[in-house]
Amino acid sequence: MDSGSAAGESDAKKDNSEQDDGDATRSKLLCRWLPPMYREELYHTMKLTGPLAIHRLLEFASKFVTSVFCGHIGNAELAGFALASAAINVTTVAMGFGLVNACDTFISQTFGGQNMKRVGLIVQRSSLILFLFCFLCWAVLLNFSNIMLLLHQDEKLVRIANVYVVAYLPAIPAVLLRELQSSYLQNQGITLPQMFCSMATNVFNVISNYVLIYSLQLGGT
């Protein structure tokens, strides 16, 4: 009995020793390919960029989900949404985000110099510039249907697309200011709020699309 117990303990110690040797070998390989200094830098980089990557992915997923719901209504509605989305992206989102990226440069430089008062001034002035830019966007989008008809687009598609464009008009300031706020927080190393807000937005987007299209039957005609 004692000899059997001793043999069992010996086997257990041997297994533990082999496991420790394997862990030590893997640790050495990891240290060789990724030194501790680089691992720490990778951790901090992923901690900062991980939530931002998820935020951007969810941001694009929102329009993808909307296009899927439009596709279930009909081909004309899907084409109208695609036309409206392309027009909004070119005339509003792309140019507005370009302005925010310029503000991002000033915010990061000023925040690095610990001049918080000037950071606040930059954010305030950027908000005012974006508000003024909204008037230009509204002027273009309010004439969306006329511009599309001049470009010989299908009248039915233009009518459907114009419904989406008009409904999107009040959202333009919110979209641009949200991007500015995201840039402001990002330069301070704060990235989780953007990710959680994008998650909540996508959940609300799915629910609202389902309720409005299937429950209330408010799809395009």
Q: Tell me the domain boundaries of the chain.
A: 14-215
What's the pTM value of the predicted model, to 2 decimals?
0.72
pLDDT for the residue numbered 109: 75
Tokens at 79, concatenated:
């084409």
CB 52 within 8 A of CB 194: yes
* Residue among 140, 136, 119, 204 at smallest CA distance from 173: 136
**Average confidence (pLDDT) per 10 residues, the chain, 221 residues:** 48 48 54 66 76 86 86 85 89 86 78 76 87 91 89 87 90 89 82 87 89 75 43
